[in-house]
Amino acid sequence: MFKYMAAGLTVFVMAADGASACIGFDDATDTFSSSCSSKHYVEYRTVGGGCYRKAHGKMTLQAGQKMADPKLSQSCGSAGKWWVQYTWCEFSQWKNGSCKPKF
């Protein structure tokens, strides 16, 4: 699954196999949101700059929850434009190892 957003940061999305598109990202507010009916594990990185070039950011979202990470729009010493990539798994599948987030 791929999505591109052209406002501010560019966003690149990948969902693990069989996952539905129920996790979203608002680059204007650095906020992830869930429209899923269950808890999900989200992993993300910045490409081309930003704070998550090496270490990935992670969060768990409950059904219907929103959560921001202000570091997503911080440069952390990089210059130029970067974009956010994120992927997710249903939490119980991630926990038992049957789903592994892939970029």
Task: Report whether pLDDT(40) > 60.
Answer: yes
User: Taking the domain 4-95, which CATH number applies?
Assistant: 2.60.40
Q: How far is 8 from 26, CA to CA, in rounded Å?
A: 10
Sketch the domain layout of the chain as residue ranges: 4-95
**Could you tell me whether strands 83-90 and 10-13 are parallel, antiparallel, or unpaired per DSSP bridges?**
parallel
Mean per-residue pLDDT, 56-74? 96
Arithmetic mean of pLDDT over the chain:
85
Three-state secondary structure call for residue 72? helix
pLDDT, tens digit, for every residue of 6-25? 334 444 455 444 456 899 99
- Among residues of the chain, what percentage have pLDDT more than 70? 81
Q: What's the whole-model pTM score?
A: 0.79
